[in-house]
Amino acid sequence: MKKFLYVLAGLFLVTAGHTQNPDPVKWTTSVEKISATEYDLVSKATIDSGWHIYSQDVPEGGPTATTFTYDDSAGNFKIIGNTLEEGGKKNEDAFFKLALTSFENEAVFKQRIEVSGKVTSIQTYVEYVAANAVKGLPAKEVELSFDITAATTVKEKVAGGAEKVAEVKDIKTKDADSKQGIWSIFFIAFLSGFAALLTPCVFPMIPMTVSFFTKQSKNKAVGIRNAIVYGISIILIYVLLGTAVTAIFGADALNALATNVWFNIIFFILLVVFAISFLGAFEIVLPNSWANTVDSQADRGGMAGIFFMALALAIVSFSCTGPIVGTLLVEAASKGGLAPIIGMLGFSIAIALPFAFFAAFPGWLNSLPKSGGWLNTVKVVLGFLELALAFKFLSQADLVLQMHLLEREVFLAIWIAIFGTLAFYLFGKIQLPHDSPLTHISVGRLGLGLIVLSFTIYMIPGLWGAPLNLISAFPPPQEYSESPYGVGYTKAGGGSTAETELPEGAHLLAPHDIIAFNDYDKGLAYAKKTGKPVMLDFTGWACVNCRKMEQNVWPKPEILKILKNDVVLISLYVDDKRPLEANEITESKLQPGKKLKYIGQKWSELQTLKYKANSQPFYVLMDHEENNLIEPVGYTPDVATFHKWLEEGTSKLKK
């Protein structure tokens, strides 16, 4: 009612008198370049004397908060963290009878972004209320434009307040995680390239290729030059493939599909087909006409001929490299960004190096092992790995739909069966099509068999509740199981898990008995009742890093103590595909005209609108008025860092 009277009084005074400036706030913008991809969008409000505008954090019953909405519909930049505000004074407002933070004379707001595409300008809408000692104007929305091309380069400032320091640390952590993810993709792709090299379709082609270059090269110098061109051509072909995937789907498009049910089901089927092919049921081959056409071009000689030789290698070896490349592209593309290109770079370097070296120095061929049945063994091992990975995609679809068809025990049982069968195969107890008669097993095959058998035995206790931290990113979480506390586990002397008296809407998060809510309102009400701060956990059923946090960081004694005793945990699953109740279906504020029909859409929009972030996990510590106690953080695998964040945030409410 006060807000209505406030706005009504403002409207009357604006129309009745013109002695005061009806628009006492002027906005200007600038852009600060932090790094090659990161910028700060700076919005500066110059406020007439005697007037003020309000902060972005306004308690319930107060005036309209200053709100920034950044137009990222083109998908070429990402919001990092919240919009920061500098200065401001907190005083008792005479009209609202509330302690409100406001800005006089000048207000500066900064929003950090990460650019992932070609961006020249960014549009932003700011909504604010201007007021003085006797009246307030109605809420006004102004469009701001930021010219990225006119950005000025600045150095990162660490000093300037705890919140600023926290934000810088969070950004650095995200940068480190991003770089770590890129390097892990490159490393996995590089190993995949060597695995592909040791398949029956690729390995025997090394002597054939060397023979071709030996005949074509007039002297050693020309031979080395041709070998280098050949290796670069192989790399170029595969990198172009990764570039095509990125260009067609967009740098981050497939990342958004990671929780899409049909995306995961389609790639489950695709990987199963790849696995069956590697196990010897059939071969995936490209049309012969393609190989013949490319082969004829290779006879032309010169640089063009060498390039077509490399293309011929890619096509002829497709039956072995295709499933590996396909799996690699699926995994890389699901991470978004430049991962597909980096993945193909690592894969192609591993393929190109042996061909180039042996072509340049043909005498080294004598050191190569002879082709034989061991090549088919490599192919079969890759088939088993493809099959195991396929069930990870199916598991994600099941988690998102909450169908409970592929719970933790079932998933682990399937993996135990797959890797157990692989161990029997390596020990020579099982033979598949195209296998040569096996009179004995080599030391290398025996060693690999022992490793696979050990891994299989390691997974077995997981059926009884063991956390299995080595593979925490792959199986469903422990609470998504038939026996969250482990098979046969008893509490309080009973025959089953006996839960303590829980507040309305809460459940025990197994296996550590953390009281958790999935309902925002009920969780907040319980926090007010107990006097504890709220910890919002924006998470996802298909979120790999969320599982790593929950299984590797949360169980640590110093972390678990806080989660169980000092905060009220509210877990909001942004990929929850269960429908909202009819009375909860609303129109999206981010996409006008679109209805929010699913629970996950509701929480995803909340995270995007309020915290200007859309990645998970994302943790927020807030008070009972829903104000942040400390700058939110994302994936924080370092236990000491996460513990310090929890301690600092919870201590502020106690004060």
Q: Out of 110-124, 307-321, 340-354, 438-452, which region has the weakest mean confidence (pLDDT)?
A: 307-321
Question: Domain spans of the chain?
Answer: 25-147, 182-368, 371-486, 506-654
Classify domain 25-147 at the CATH superfamily level: Thiol:disulfide interchange protein DsbD, N-terminal domain (2.60.40.1250)
Owner of token pair 């150095």: 155
pLDDT in tens, 271-297: 788 788 878 777 665 555 545 555 555
pLDDT in tens, 585-598: 888 887 777 888 88
pLDDT, mean of residues 254-274 = 72
Residue 359: C-alpha distances to residues 192, 210, 364, 370 (Å): 22, 5, 9, 17
Question: How far apart, in whole angstroms, are the C-alpha atoms of residue 298 and residue 312?
Answer: 8
- Please state, in angstroms and as integers, the Cα–Cα distance from residue 420 to each residue in 274, 423, 461, following that order: 20, 5, 14
Q: State which fold the 506-654 domain adopts.
A: Glutaredoxin (3.40.30)
| Bond before 362 cis per omega within 30 degrees | no
Q: What is the DSSP letter of 473?
A: T
CA-CA-CA-CA torsion for 270, 452, 196, 371, nearest 10 degrees?
-130
How far lies 138's CA from each of 6, 48, 104, 343, in Å?
8, 16, 18, 53
Q: Is the pLDDT of residue 549 over 80?
A: yes
Q: What is the mean pLDDT of residues 437-453?
A: 89
How does the average pLDDT of the chain come out, rounded? 76
Is the model's pLDDT at 349 over the cut of 90? no
CA–CA dist 268, 391 (Å, integer): 6
Given this model, what pLDDT does residue 419 score?
Answer: 96
Of 254-258, 417-421, 501-505, where does mean pLDDT reach its minimum?
A: 254-258
What pLDDT is attached to residue 487? 61
Q: Is the pLDDT of residue 497 over 80?
A: no
Question: Do strands 106-115 and 152-153 pair parallel, antiparallel, or not at all (unpaired)?
Answer: unpaired
pLDDT band at residue 17, thresholds of 50, 70 and 90?
very low
Higher pLDDT, 473 or 370: 473
